[in-house]
A = this chain, B = another copy of it.
Amino acid sequence: MPVGEAIFTQRAIRRLKPDPIDDADLEILLAAAARAPSGGNRQPWRFLVVRDQKLKDQLAEWYVDAYWARRRERGFSGPEAIPKDDSSGQAALHFSTNPENYARAPVLLFVIAEYKGADIAAACQNLMLAARALGIGSTITSIGGIHEADVHRLLGIPDGMDASCCIPIGWPEGKFGPAQRKPLREVAFLDHFGAAGPWSSD
């Protein structure tokens, strides 16, 4: 698949079939992630593929728990408090209201930062673009906060590392397609912040 098609049709996919991702596909995703650039080529990441169903079930419970703990901190008491026009919040309900939906992903793929603040986003993006190219759905989720220590203990992750980024991957039930983004003229400028560039309006 051309780079452009992958980039322009990437979107968060949460409705996943339980069908397995085979080893060869998984290796492509991991190899793509591991090729990402990093400052000083430090490659400050580790990848942990979780396929074991018991582990996934436990992680899914913690995911839902940690999600609502973060939401409550921001004043949202539960699903009914998420505004209808918060499309990201609404979409996240598929995972956050039902641990079975989360545990159903054939793979929970942790992208672990070697230390808090290490920049792992380029690795995540390579992984998700490679997934898109293979037709595999993904989205970044977070199991941090109140269950951080639990996750570390369950999976044997060393202290000091940050395992809060977890990417459920699987074959999509829905479709890929362009996601909603701000028009280019609102975010891209020429030679001075706020100055319009020669690009078209979108």
Contact = CB atoms under 8 A, between A and B. Distances in A.
A65 to B, nearest CB: 19
Interface in A3-27: 3-4, 6-8, 10-12, 23, 26-27
A188 B34 contact: yes
Given A27-B200, A37-B140, A140-B37, A190 B51 contact: yes
Main secondary structure of the interface of A (DSSP, over half): mixed
B193 A48 contact: yes
Contact of A194 (B12, B156, B192): B156
A179 interface: yes
Interface of A: 1-4, 6-8, 10-12, 23, 26-28, 30-32, 34-37, 39-41, 43, 45-52, 55, 87-89, 112, 119, 121-122, 124-126, 128-130, 132-133, 139-140, 155-158, 178-182, 184, 187-195, 197-200
